[in-house]
Amino acid sequence: MQLTTAQQEMLEGKLGLARKKSMEILYALGQIYGARRFIEVKSVQVAGVSYDNLGDAGLEFLSEMARDGRVQVLTTLNPAGMDLENWRALGISEAFAEKQKLVIEAFSRMGVRTTCTCTPYFVGNLPGLGDPIAWSESSAVCYANSVLGARTNREGGPSALAAALTGVTVEYGYHLDENRRPTVAVEVAHEMRDPIHFGALGQVLGKRLGNRVAYIKGIPAATVEQLKSLCASIATYGGAALFHLEGITPERVSEPETGLRVEAGEIEAAVRDMNDDAEVDFVAIGCPHCSLDELRTLAGLLRGKRVVRETWIAVARPVKDQADREGIVSTIEASGAKFAADTCFVVAPIRGRFRCMATNSAKSVFYARGKNRFKTVFAPLEKLVDIATRG
């Protein structure tokens, strides 16, 4: 690989231990993928934040990097294993909280903005068309590539942190034009009238496409919330972290000749597949984290009602703060629903606490079943509120 003088110095340890280790990680990746050079990144999103996933070995690694490592570009953080303020109300143990706080402190010492969200694009990390970035968190990676037109591979936690500490990433994969071109056209023959259809479509496409980059037609318009749902789902059920949605993805590409159709029946079947016949004891909303608009809708639906099942709403803290200024937070909390800011239902240590989770996220269904062994109910927001408040 061609290295600049500064990159060579980092690799030799002349600019500190954290940058040496970081450059070693990136250099090894470059060798594996046959890359020719490093490129500067505009921003980084680091995953691998929950102590539930990191354990003591991960915490030790971060503490070591934090001794002299400082981020070189805007760097935001994925959800942690708990709400950093409200963790007691969510039943998190003291022992877990203590370790989780040490993880956050290590990131903070490195200059990482401890946003703790999988929707960095809602909290100021908003790259533009063609910007090279290094993001981990598959849903955000897919959103950055497909909705914003930025360029990132699906980084792991360590390689994203390495990019943050050096300011560069390896030029391969989705950073190269030839890997961003769509290879299969997809005609969606279904009216996407219900928001959960986007998550269901993601499941169908993820399974049918694998790693192929799709050029999707037949969806004339979509909201930010529908797009984040589609991105999360397609990246969960398949390997691709990029699609081109006709009329929405800003990148200019040509439509491929090879094509496939997604029939209405497939989407309905995906919805049925994500619904178990079981009694819900946990309602989980906000995967990926809720937008301000979703919180407004939720407040309208919950106003004057009481939840009778444990109900959590996952959100970025800055979005919750904004909602608080609009008086929405108190309306939602008055219903008995709990905010789970900074965290999510997949990385929080909740296995064994519930039996059946109701959600409007196809991604949550995948992990609730696979990681937490929950049964699932997959339904739109209005229905979730109905389930949460029905006696």
> What residues make contact with ligand F3S under the rule CB under 6 A?
78-79, 118, 139, 232, 287-289, 314, 344, 346, 363-364, 367
| Backbone dihedral angles phi then psi of residue 177, each to the nearest 5 degrees | -50, -45
CB 347 within 8 A of CB 81: yes
Contacts of residue 142, defined as CB under 8 A and 6 or more positions apart, other chains included, come to 231, 232, 234, 235, 240, 241, 242, 243
β-pairing, 214-217 with 74-77? unpaired
The residue among 171 and 225 lying less far from ligand F3S, judged by its C-beta, is 225
To ligand F3S, the closest distance from the beta carbon of 300 in angstroms equals 22
Residue 217 has φ and ψ, to the nearest 5°, of -120, 160
Q: How far apart are the first and last CA of the chain?
A: 64
Beta carbon of residue 139, minimum distance to ligand F3S (angstroms, whole number): 4
Quote the least distance from Cβ 142 to ligand F3S, whole Å: 10
Indicate the residue among 139 and 335 with the shorter CB distance to ligand F3S.
139
Closest CA to 349 of 84, 92, 78, 86: 92
Range 385-390 contact pairs with CB under 8 angstroms and sequence separation of 24 or more: 385/298, 385/301, 385/302, 385/305, 387/280, 387/283, 387/309, 387/358, 388/283, 388/307, 388/308, 388/309, 388/311, 388/337, 388/358, 389/302, 389/305, 389/306, 389/307, 389/308, 389/335, 390/308
Question: CB-wise, 27 or 312, nearer to ligand F3S?
Answer: 312
Query: φ and ψ at 101, to 5 degrees?
Result: -65, -35
Are 153 and 175 a contacting pair, CB within 8 Å?
yes
Taking the complex as a whole, the smallest distance from the CB of residue 285 to ligand F3S amounts, in Å, to 10
Nearer to ligand F3S, 38 or 378 (CB): 378
Ramachandran angles phi, psi of 244, nearest 5°: -115, 120
Q: Output 69 or 349, the one with its CB closest to ligand F3S.
A: 349
Q: Least distance in Å: CB of 32 to ligand F3S?
A: 26
Q: Shortest approach of ligand F3S to residue 363 CB, angstroms?
A: 5
- Encoded amino acid at 11, one letter: L
Q: How far is the CB of 216 from ligand F3S (least distance, A)?
A: 20
- Residue 381: CB atoms within 10 Å: 17
Q: Is the Cβ of residue 113 or residue 363 nearer to ligand F3S in the bound state?
A: 363
Residue 271, helix vs strand vs coil: helix
> Between 249 and 372, whose beta carbon lies closer to ligand F3S?
372
Closer Cβ to ligand F3S, 78 or 376, answer by number: 78
Task: Give least dist CB 187 to ligand F3S, A.
Answer: 27
Please say which residue, 22 or 360, places its beta carbon nearer to ligand F3S: 360
Please name the amino acid found at residue 107: F
Q: How far is the CB of 217 from ligand F3S (least distance, A)?
A: 26
